[in-house]
């Protein structure tokens, strides 16, 4: 999905959506006019590419998630070792999603019953456009651990996925809710180390 060339106006719409979400605006309250005004294009132009605002927003969200996950996949492929990979994921969360408070918003959006949420779930389920998702990152991490012989393969795969996902989400929630997260770098680094160590222990990594 991210590898495909986007028309410049579609790219501008996607960037506008990302910026609006980062500004702590309720996603469901965003209007097409808000998006097009930020993108610097006419409202009618947006409808040349999309049917409605739900399609614009859901497409933008999936595009940005896909871009982040694909970039993370490339980083993971250059690393050797389960702990290093987890550290890389946490760093990417800092840089790409957590600092802008977007991650928890996306997760909340996926769990409600809004039209945008329904479209997102449908597209994720159908994997339209070969979308790369956080689930794929976790699977890559697990595969690396199994290939390296460090994960106890007697553990159910669902348990391993749950352990990794819960640790990452706890970190995202903690960081997002801090008043001045940029002033707590030392504490954040300590937290990352604790997350890695707790994962190693909980999955019986030898």
3 located within any domain: no
Domain CATH number, residue 117: 1.10.357.10
Q: Rounded CA gap, 75 and 88, in Å?
A: 7
The pLDDT score that the predictor gives to residue 179 is: 55
138 located within any domain: yes
161 located within any domain: yes
- What are the residues whose beta carbons fall under 8 Å from the beta carbon of 187, sequence distance 6 or more? none
Q: Rounded CA gap, 18 and 62, in Å?
A: 11
1 located within any domain: no
Q: Which of 184, 168, 200 is nearest to 89 (CA)?
A: 168
2 located within any domain: no
- Whether the per-residue pLDDT at 135 is higher than 60: the answer is yes
SS3 content of the chain, % helix, strand, coil (to 5): 75, 0, 25
113 located within any domain: yes
Tokens of 187: 């504490």
179 located within any domain: yes
**Per-residue model confidence as pLDDT tens digits over 40-54:** 999 999 999 999 999
**Per-residue model confidence as pLDDT tens digits over 161-183:** 898 888 888 887 776 666 565 55
Report the SS3 class of residue 64: helix
What value does the mean pLDDT take over residues 181-197? 76
Structurally, how many domains does the chain consist of? Answer: 1
164 located within any domain: yes
pLDDT-derived band of residue 129, with 50, 70 and 90 as boundaries? low
Q: What percent of the chain has pLDDT over 70?
A: 85
Tokens of 78: 């250059």
End-to-end CA distance of the chain: 37
Domain span at residue 35 reads 8-202
């Amino acid at each position: 999905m991210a590898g495909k060339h986007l028309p410049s106006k579609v790219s501008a719409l996607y960037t506008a959506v990302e910026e609006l979400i980062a500004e702590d605006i309720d996603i469901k309250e965003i209007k097409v006019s808000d998006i097009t005004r930020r993108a610097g294009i006419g409202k009618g132009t947006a409808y040349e590419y999309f049917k409605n605002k739900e399609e614009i927003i859901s497409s933008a969200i999936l595009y940005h998630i896909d871009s982040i996950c694909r970039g993370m996949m490339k980083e993971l492929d250059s690393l050797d070792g389960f702990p290093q990979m987890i550290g890389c994921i946490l760093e990417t969360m800092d840089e790409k999603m957590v600092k802008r408070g977007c991650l928890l918003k996306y997760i909340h959006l996926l769990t409600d019953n809004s039209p945008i949420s329904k479209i997102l779930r449908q597209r994720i389920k159908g994997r339209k456009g070969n979308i790369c998702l956080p689930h794929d990152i976790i699977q890559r991490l697990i595969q690396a651990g199994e290939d390296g012989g460090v994960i106890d393969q007697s553990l159910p795969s669902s348990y391993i996925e749950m352990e990794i996902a819960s640790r990452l989400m706890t970190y995202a929630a903690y960081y997002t809710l801090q008043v001045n997260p940029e002033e707590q770098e030392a504490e954040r680094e300590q937290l990352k180390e604790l997350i890695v160590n707790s994962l190693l222990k909980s999955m019986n990594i030898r």
